[in-house]
Amino acid sequence: MNRKKLIGNIVRYALYAVVAAFFIWAISNSYFDYIFSQSGTFLVLLRQHIVLVLVSSLLAILIAVPAGILITRPKFKRAEWIVSNIANLGQTIPSLAVLALMISFLGIGFQTAVFALFIYSILPIFRNTVAGIDSIDKNMIDAAKGMGMKPHQILFRIELPNSAYSILAGIRTAVVLNIGTAALAYVVGAGGLGVWIFTGINLFDNGFLISGAIPVTLLAIVADFILRRVEYAVVPKGSRRIEKA
Amino acid sequence: MISFNHVTKKFGENITAIDDVDFTVEEGKIVVLLGPSGCGKTTLLRMVNRLESITEGEIIINGENSKDMDPIELRRKIGYVIQSNGLFPNMTIEENVMIVPDLLGWSKKDKRERFEYLMKLSGLDAKDYGKRYPHELSGGQQQRIGVVRALAADPPVMLMDEPFGALDPIIREKIQDEFLQIQREVKKTILFVSHDIDEAIKMADKIVLLRDGKIMQFDTPSEMLAHPKQEFVSQFFGKDRAIKGLSLHTVENLREVIGLGPVDDSVQDTKTINVHQDLRNTLSMLLNQEADQVIVKDDAGENIGTITIDLVQKYLHFEIKGKVSASQEG
C-alpha cells in the first residue's frame, strides 16, 4: 500500500514538473502573447467555443437522457440492443468525417458544427443513462411496485435518483470530449479556439498554436471540475457511497 | 382474511405454476407457504397483490375480489416485505418507512407520529436512525426497517416473501421472535413464504405445503408433523420431524400433561431452565449431559420439578401416539 502511494506520488510530482516546465518554456518564448495582444479576438473565439459546446451538449442531454429512460421502459426493452448499436455506430465514425458529411447537408457554419458535436455527445450520455438504470437492483423495483408506486413514481423517486451518478458521469465525459472536439469546428467555419490552433499549425507558429490549445485544455479541466461539483450536489447522499464501493 | 378460491396460474398453454389452490388465511393469523424451490410459493404470494396475474379462480381479500380492485390501490393496502429488504438507498430511513403513507398523502404530523410508533416497535431509536441511510445499518437492522415499512400505513394484510432468509441464523431467530412479538400487538393477516422448515413451524398458525403448484397439505404445524397426510409431506419434514415438532411444545405443556419429576436436593451438579422453554431446546440440553439434574423454574424463580429424557419421551408418546389412537377410535 505504501509502495503504491510512493509511486503514485512520484508520478504525480513528475507530471507537475513537466507541466511547470512546459509553462516556463512557453512563457519564456512569449508564446501566450497573442492572448493579450489580440485579446479582443481571443475573447470572441473563446465565446464561440463555449457556445458551440454548450448548445451541442444541451441538445445531446435533452435527447439522450429521455431516450435512455424510454429504452429502459419494459415496453421498449426489446429494442434496447438495436438502439445501442446504432448509437455505438455513430461513435465509430471519425469526428472529422462527421463534420465533412454534415457540410453536404447543412452547408458550412455554426449549425453544422453544433450538429456534428451533438451527434458525437449522444452516445456517452445515452449509454451511461441506460447502464445506470439497468444497474438498479430489480428487487428494489419489485418492492416499489409491490408497495403501490405508480410507474412515474418509480422512475422519479427510485430509478433516476439511484442512477444519477452514472448519468452525470456520462454527461461529464461527453462535455469534456466535446470541448476538445469543438476545436475542429474551424474546419466548417464555425470559429472557436480551433481557429488559432489551425492557424498555428499552418504557419508553424507555436504562439498561435499554444494560445489556442492551452485555453481549450483549461476549459476542459474547469468543465470537469464544475461538473464533478454538480454531481456531488445532485447525487443523493445515500446512493453516493454505493457507487464508490 | 385472504381466501384463495380454486386459484390457477398458467404460463402459456402447458406450464401450470399454480394448480387449483384453495385455502383461507384467517383474520389475524399467519399462514406460511412452504415447499421446495420452484414449487410456486412466491408466485402464489405475488398473485395476491397482483404482481402476477391469475389465470383461473379468484383471490378474495377482506371480502373484495382482487380482480375488481385497482392494482395500485390494492398494493397500498397490503404490506409487502421481500428477502433483500428492498430499502431505497437514496432515501433516509424515515423516508423509506413513510413511503406508503406519503403515497396516500398523509399529513406531516401523522407521518411523524406513525414513524415514531413504528420505530418503537422495531426497537430502533427514531431520533437516532431516522436521518440515516440504509447502507449505514446492519443487515438485521435493515430487515427490521423492511418489516416496519410494510406496517407503515397499517394495512390489514401483509405479504412476506422469505423476509428473514438473508440473515444469519442467530440474528434470524432473534428477529423472528421480535416479529412474533410485534404480531401479537398488531394482529395482521399474514401470508408468509419460507423454505425453512424450522421457520415455518415457528411462525405459522397454519402451513400450506406446496409441491409443483399443488397443495400437499394445509394444517397446523403440529398436525402436519404428527400426522403427515402424504408420503411427500413426511419426506419433506424429514426423519427428525418428531424433534422439530418438539419446538412447538414447552416444558409447561409437558408438566400439564404428565407432570415433572421430584427435585433431589442431594445432587450437586444441577442446571435450571425456565418453564416456558421449548422442549426441543430442553431435549438438546439433556442430551448434551450438561448436568446430572435439570431443574425447572417458574416465572417467579421457584423450583417446580425436574425434567429428564424419559419424561420427554413419555410426553412424545402421549402426544403423538395418544392422538393417533384417539383419532382412530373417533
Mind listing the pLDDT tens digit for each residue in B254-277? 888 888 888 888 888 888 888 888
d(C-alpha A129, C-alpha B158), whole Å: 35
d(C-alpha A117, C-alpha A112), whole Å: 9
Chain A residues with at least one Cβ partner in B under 8 Å: 137, 139-140, 142-150, 153, 157-158, 161-162, 236-239, 241-242
pLDDT tens digits along B28-63: 999 999 999 889 999 999 999 999 999 999 999 999
**Residue in B77, B83, B90 closest to A238 by CB:** B90
CB contact under 8 A, B75 and A146: yes
User: What average pLDDT score do residues B133-158 get?
Assistant: 92
> What per-residue confidence (pLDDT) applies to A245?
37
The nearest CA of chain A is from the CA of B209 a distance in Å of 24
Q: Tell which phi-psi region holds residue B50, choosing left (phi > 0), alpha (psi between -120 and 50) or beta.
A: left
> What per-residue confidence (pLDDT) applies to B60?
95
What kind and span of H or E run contains A90? Answer: helix A80-92
d(C-alpha A101, C-alpha A75), whole Å: 34
Say yes or no to pLDDT of B329 above 70.
Answer: no
CB contact under 8 A, A236 and B134: no
| Residues of chain B positioned with their CB less than 8 A from the CB of A135 | none
Q: Tell which phi-psi region holds residue B26, choosing left (phi > 0), alpha (psi between -120 and 50) or beta.
A: beta
Residues 6+ apart with CB under 8 A from A66: none
Instruction: Give the pLDDT band (50/70/90) at residue B20.
Output: very high
Q: Is B105 on the interface with A (CB under 8 A)?
A: no
The secondary structure of residue A204, as a DSSP letter, is T
Percent of chain B with pLDDT over 70: 97
Cell of B12: 402459456
Full strand arrangement of the beta sheet holding B56-61: B15-25, B2-11, B56-61, B64-65
| Residues of chain B positioned with their CB less than 8 A from the CB of A74 | none
The nearest CA of chain B is from the CA of A202 a distance in Å of 53
pLDDT tens digits along B69-117: 999 999 999 999 998 878 999 999 999 999 999 999 999 999 999 999 9
CB contact under 8 A, B133 and A238: yes
> What per-residue confidence (pLDDT) applies to A3?
87
d(C-alpha B68, C-alpha A155), whole Å: 26
**Residue in A137, A146, A157 closest to B51 by CB:** A146
Closest CA to B79 of A147, A138, A153: A147
By CB neighbour count within 10 A (0-12 exposed, 13-18 middle, 19+ buried), where does B156 fall?
Answer: middle
CB contact under 8 A, B49 and A146: yes
d(C-alpha A227, C-alpha B175), whole Å: 44
| Residues of chain A positioned with their CB less than 8 A from the CB of B87 | 140, 143
Angle at CA A52, nearest 5°, toward A50 and A53?
65
The dihedral over CA atoms of B136, B138, B140, B142, expressed in degrees to the nearest 10, equals 20
**Which single residue is written with the C-alpha cell 466548417?**
A188
Q: Are B85 and B138 contacting, i.e. CB atoms less than 8 angstroms apart? A: no
d(C-alpha B259, C-alpha B304), whole Å: 10
In this prediction, the residues of chain A whose per-residue pLDDT falls under 70 are: 1, 241-245
Q: Tell which phi-psi region holds residue B301, choosing left (phi > 0), alpha (psi between -120 and 50) or beta.
A: left
Distance between alpha carbon A72 and the CA centroid of its chain, in Å? Answer: 23
The nearest CA of chain A is from the CA of B106 a distance in Å of 15
CB contact under 8 A, A238 and B76: no
The nearest CA of chain B is from the CA of A71 a distance in Å of 22
Q: Is B159 on the interface with A (CB under 8 A)?
A: yes
Q: Are B274 and B297 contacting, i.e. CB atoms less than 8 angstroms apart? A: yes
**Which single residue is written with the C-alpha cell 419446538?**
B247
The nearest CA of chain A is from the CA of B79 a distance in Å of 7
More confident residue, B226 or B79: B79
What kind and span of H or E run contains A84? Answer: helix A80-92
Q: Are B121 and B148 contacting, i.e. CB atoms less than 8 angstroms apart? A: yes
User: What average pLDDT score do residues B181-201 get?
Assistant: 92
Say yes or no to pLDDT of B203 above 90.
Answer: yes
| Residues of chain B positioned with their CB less than 8 A from the CB of A143 | 80, 82, 85-88
> What per-residue confidence (pLDDT) applies to B129?
93
The nearest CA of chain B is from the CA of A205 a distance in Å of 53
> What per-residue confidence (pLDDT) applies to A244?
43
Q: Are B9 and B55 contacting, i.e. CB atoms less than 8 angstroms apart? A: yes
Q: Are A116 and A96 contacting, i.e. CB atoms less than 8 angstroms apart? A: no
CB contact under 8 A, A142 and B82: yes
CB contact under 8 A, B133 and A148: no
d(C-alpha B311, C-alpha A181), whole Å: 87
CB contact under 8 A, A149 and B133: no
Measured in degrees and rounded to the nearest 5, phi and psi for residue B296 equal -95, 130
> What per-residue confidence (pLDDT) applies to B79?
94
Percent of chain B with pLDDT over 90: 56
Say yes or no to pLDDT of B12 above 90.
Answer: no
Angle at CA B318, nearest 5°, toward B315 and B322?
165
Say yes or no to pLDDT of B16 above 70.
Answer: yes
> What per-residue confidence (pLDDT) applies to A241?
55
3-state secondary structure chain B: CEEEEEEEEEECCCEEEEEEEEEEECCCCEEEEECCCCCCHHHHHHHHCCCCCCCEEEEEECCEEHHHCCHHHHHHCEEEEECCCCCCCCCCHHHHHCHHHHHCCCCHHHHHHHHHHHHHHHCCCHHHHHCCCHHHCCHHHHHHHHHHHHCCCCCCEEEEECCCCCCCHHHHHHHHHHHHHHHHHHCCEEEEEECCHHHHHHHCCEEEEEECCEEEEEECHHHHHHCCCCHHHHHHHCCCHHHHHHCCCEHHHHHHHHCCECCCCCCCCEEEEECCCEHHHHHHHHHCCCCCEEEEECCCCCEEEEECHHHHHHHHHHHHHHHHHHHHHC
Find, in chain B, the residue whose alpha carbon is nearest to that of A235: B90
Say yes or no to pLDDT of B321 above 80.
Answer: no
Instruction: Give the pLDDT band (50/70/90) at residue B330.
Output: very low
Closest CA to B255 of B205, B172, B314: B314
